[in-house]
Amino acid sequence: MFEHKTQPLAPRHKFFIRLARHFCWTLLIVGFSLAMGSCGYHFIAGLDWIDSFHNASMILTGMGPLNPMPSVPAKLFSSFYALYSGVAFLTMVATLLAPVAHRFMHRLHLEELEDDDADEGKADRAMNESEEIRP
């Protein structure tokens, strides 16, 4: 998916396409998570659709639930959905930042290779010059 460390840095347009693709994956994760949470709050907790969506959104973003849960199954669902939401949030952040982090690390690695090549070139020139001076 990403270029190897020995390959040149991807052009900007390819990088932006990669960012857009990762953004779409993040939107799918958000959509799935909100749908799952809204359905759970609606069918298990008995909330209206708008209240279910509101609760799911608030838990998914880490803000917390708004409505009290009326039954034990609703409380269990709310608890497990909160645990799921924490993992989903971290997954979304990682998915969004992966192309940026890769490009940053790739650029650093390429600069390091250029510095190493320049140092090797200086050492080779110095060795050749010392051999020319010797009789």
Span 8-21, pLDDT tens digits: 677 788 889 989 99
Reported as a pLDDT band with limits 50, 70 and 90, residue 103 is confident
Question: How many whole angstroms separate alpha carbon 40 and alpha carbon 49?
Answer: 10
Single-letter amino acid, residue 65: P
Are 60 and 84 in contact by the 8 Å Cβ rule? The answer is no
In a domain, 47, yes or no: yes
Q: With 80 as the cut, is the pLDDT of residue 2 above it?
A: no
Average pLDDT over the chain, rounded to an integer: 83
Structural domain harbouring 86: 12-133
Tell me if 62 is assigned to some domain.
Answer: yes
Q: How far is CA 76 from CA 45, 79, 93, in A?
A: 10, 5, 26
Q: What per-residue confidence (pLDDT) applies to 80? A: 95
Residue 7 domain flag = no
CATH number at residue 18: 1.10.287
In a domain, 101, yes or no: yes
2 in a structural domain:
no
Q: Is residue 78 part of a domain?
A: yes
Cα separation, 25 vs 92, whole angstroms? 8
Q: How many domains does the chain have?
A: 1
- 125 within domain boundaries: yes
Domain-located, residue 6: no
